[in-house]
Structure 1
Amino acid sequence: MKKRLGYVLLIGCLLLFSFQIVKNKLHLLQSPGAVIENYIEPDYGLGAGHIDSLLPFPDIKKGERTPFDLWNYGGKGKSSFMDPNLPMEWEKWVEFHEKQKPELMLDIKAYMNSRYNFTMNSFEGKFMSGGRKPIMQGPVSRLPEGIKSFEELAKLSAEEIKEKDLFPFKPLAHPLASTAHMVFPDSWNKTHPEHIRIDVDHDYPDEYLPEFPPPMFLTTHKELGDVTDGKEITLANYYEIFNGLLTPEQMEGLKELLRPTATTWFNQTTHRVTKEPSAGVSCFSCHVNGHTNGAFELAPDSRPHLARLRVGTPSMRGNYNLMQLASKRSIRSMDHFAEIEEYFDGDPGMMQHIGPRAHQKSVANRMGDFNAMLDFPPAPKLDAMGNLIPEKSTKQELFGEQLFRGKAKCVSCHGGPAFVDDYMHDLKVERFYKGRPQGPIKTFPLRGIKDSPPYLHDDRLPTLDDTVEFFNLVLELKLDKKEKEALTAYMLCL
């Protein structure tokens, strides 16, 4: 009896002691947080029922087809994290895509042809900076049925265009967003067949993509023009080309920009989209010669995966003049960007499973150092202050410059030596179509813009003419055909 009473007293003392500890340490406990009772969410100007008007994202496994109209979907996904395992065994994975890819590519081609009329018409005598590839003429975006011209469309209000579903510039989705990742153009894959995917190919005709390989211009050696002499820079030739031009630190940075490393889907494991194991990709696999080859990806800045925006590869030229990198996250330095580049879709867990890039800060700094030397292409018609030289310019180009700085409002976002304000802007394009708002996007420089089709962050605008039509409509500028053609002519001079 005394023994049992002793146990009871001991337990009581322990409970009392524990209570005192908890009482004295309440500040260490996590409170549940405040909750507004009977909460009703405001529409925030997006319109009543804006969430309810969107479809829930479908539950789709890796590799399965995704809708081309992903702007119609919204909301939250099941998880922020990826699974390093395929949904089936490797042999079945290959077999699955060998069966799905031909039909998928036919449907992608049909979809792109429903949105664009790729006429293959180019501007007479106008070429990209390398002097070989013609610049394609537009607009090639198809007008909605019943609308005869872009001028007729521009007379309608945003509300009317939205209600009648007449907007020809809806977002462009990654054609296989369940797997997503980098999709390289045919011109790249012919030289680098190790990057041919078993599941999907590029959706743009090569004529509407940047020249390959593009020239490279350095801030430190303007006298050399294209320092590559028409070559693609690789690990095999970079030393021969740049020895005697760069500092040893810059050589190291360039080497790292060229060094392949594993990614979410290009790697040595079976979690891949190439037939054979891959060494991965390098920065210059997409930003070839410090420019772009037109490859596209999904931005790693959001979840679920189907909500991530398609992003085309921007040029690295002129990054020395930018304080914002990445389309939506506003990364503030080139060395930081080199450090966190989207090799693993913003998922450190996948990096651990496949094998990290293992970049030290000092290496990223050197990559940023070389990046900071990549110059824009020459613009012979511009003076030292970025103005057109009248003696070298046509009346149409000079008229375009006047519009650019006036009626067309371009200079509001595109000023200074790089023709960019270095801000993010929300164009609120959802005023014109029913779908998920895309929010603020980084403004891109217009210096050398003729070399970087297609345009806008998600490649939805194949030509500069399409871009002018897009902004004329979205900003409600009411430009006539002559004015729009002059704006394109001016931008070809930049």
Structure 2
Amino acid sequence: MQSPLEMNADLLAVVARLEDTDGYPAAFNEAFGAPEITAERIARAIASFVRSLVSSPSRFDRFVQGDYRRLNEQEIEGLHLFRTRARCMNCHNGPRFSDGQFHHTGLSYYGRRFEDLGRYDVTGNPEDRGKFRTPTLRNVRHTEPWMHNGLFDDFTGILRMYNRGIPVGARARPGAPQLSPLIRPLGLDDQEIEALEAFLGAIGRRPAFVEPPALPGLSGTIQTP
């Protein structure tokens, strides 16, 4: 909330604004047993909401549970590639399809427009330049635009980029961050890329549109998983 790269908000100003908005003191009283609005309570309220955003079971989840009819032959081929030659599972593993670790996949745009050094901007550790936490792949086919900077709108193109081992342009610049050793050319053909994309579409569902509860100063429809 306070990050200049995100909402760039001042917490004291946020507290004051909520205090001046009819309905919020009563809502905080109902939630916390007292009408006082504090930064800590705001954080707890947001955290409670975020924890409610749980992805619905996907066709892949049903497949893992034993309903093998949920995936077709192409998607099963994609699953096999995901686990083997496509090397996706090296980073995208577990229930969340993420190892929770930080990797440099060659998209820091080092020394160019859109440069983003990722974790380095937080730690200041040169070894963290260009590293980003592995994102979940759940619902990935429905969360465009993609990648940490939202600059990619062609999902098949992203798969082809990884298939080539990530273009070398940014890495060729002096001082550029070192690419993760997990990234390498894959040698997949067009049919295999299509199968991999089909599988990735099976590990999520298009988010449903739901009507939010009535909140002070809020109206309209929001999108949730």
TM-score, normalisation: structure 2: 0.57
**Which of the residues 82, 86, 96 maps onto 1:418?**
96
CA distance in 2: counterparts of 1:372 and 1:364, whole angstroms: 12
- Cα deviation digits, residues 402-426 of structure 1 (max 9, x gap): 0001101111111111111112211
The 5 Å alignment of 1:1-16 reads: none
The 5 Å alignment of 1:153-172 reads: none
Q: Which runs of 4 or more aligned residues in structure 1 lie more than 6 Å from their structure 2 counterparts after TM superposition? A: none
Residue of structure 2 equivalent to 1:171: none
Identity %: 25
- Match for 2:144: what amino acid? P
CA distance in 2: counterparts of 1:433 and 1:478, whole angstroms: 26
1:482 aligns with 2:173: no
CA distance in 2: counterparts of 1:384 and 1:403, whole angstroms: 16
CA distance in 2: counterparts of 1:434 and 1:459, whole angstroms: 19
1:407 aligns with 2:85: yes
Residue of structure 2 equivalent to 1:461: 152
- Cα deviation digits, residues 359-412 of structure 1 (max 9, x gap): 421231122022112111331342375x78532221110000000011011111
CA distance in 1: counterparts of 2:110 and 2:100, whole angstroms: 27
Unaligned runs of 5+ in 1: 1-262, 265-298, 302-341, 346-350
Instruction: Please say which structure displays the higher CA radius of gyration.
Output: 1
Residue of structure 2 equivalent to 1:363: 42
Secondary structure, in 3 states, of the residue corresponding to 2:202? Answer: coil
CA distance in 2: counterparts of 1:480 and 1:437, whole angstroms: 31
Are the counterparts in 2 of residues 388 and 401 from structure 1 also a CA contact under 8 Å?
A: no
Residue of structure 1 equivalent to 2:131: 440
**1:455–1:429: structure 2 CA closer, same or farther, 3 Å change rule?**
closer
CA distance in 1: counterparts of 2:70 and 2:63, whole angstroms: 14
**1:388–1:414: structure 2 CA closer, same or farther, 3 Å change rule?**
farther
Unaligned runs of 5+ in 2: 16-37, 118-129, 167-183, 204-225
Residue of structure 2 equivalent to 1:395: 73
The 5 Å alignment of 1:7-86 reads: none
Are the counterparts in 2 of residues 390 and 398 from structure 1 also a CA contact under 8 Å?
A: no
1:450 aligns with 2:129: no
Residue 433 of structure 1 deviates from its aligned partner by: 8.6
Are the counterparts in 1 of residues 145 and 153 from structure 2 also a CA contact under 8 Å?
A: yes
**1:429–1:375: structure 2 CA closer, same or farther, 3 Å change rule?**
closer
**1:372–1:343: structure 2 CA closer, same or farther, 3 Å change rule?**
same
Residue of structure 2 equivalent to 1:343: 7
- Match for 1:343: what amino acid? M
CA distance in 1: counterparts of 2:97 and 2:81, whole angstroms: 15
Residue 463 of structure 1 deviates from its aligned partner by: 3.1
Are the counterparts in 2 of residues 388 and 398 from structure 1 also a CA contact under 8 Å?
A: no
- Match for 1:400: what amino acid? G
Residue of structure 1 equivalent to 2:207: none
- Cα deviation digits, residues 101-131 of structure 1 (max 9, x gap): xxxxxxxxxxxxxxxxxxxxxxxxxxxxxxx
- Cα deviation digits, residues 232-283 of structure 1 (max 9, x gap): xxxxxxxxxxxxxxxxxxxxxxxxxxxxxxx99xxxxxxxxxxxxxxxxxxx
- Match for 2:159: what amino acid? V
CA distance in 2: counterparts of 1:493 and 1:428, whole angstroms: 27
- Match for 1:370: what amino acid? F
Secondary structure, in 3 states, of the residue corresponding to 2:160? Answer: helix
Residue 343 of structure 1 deviates from its aligned partner by: 2.2
Are the counterparts in 1 of residues 62 and 70 from structure 2 also a CA contact under 8 Å?
A: no
- Match for 1:490: what amino acid? F
**1:398–1:391: structure 2 CA closer, same or farther, 3 Å change rule?**
same
- Cα deviation digits, residues 127-184 of structure 1 (max 9, x gap): xxxxxxxxxxxxxxxxxxxxxxxxxxxxxxxxxxxxxxxxxxxxxxxxxxxxxxxxxx
Residue of structure 2 equivalent to 1:216: none
The 5 Å alignment of 1:239-388 reads: 300=4, 342-344=6-8, 351=10, 356-358=13-15, 359-383=38-62, 385=64
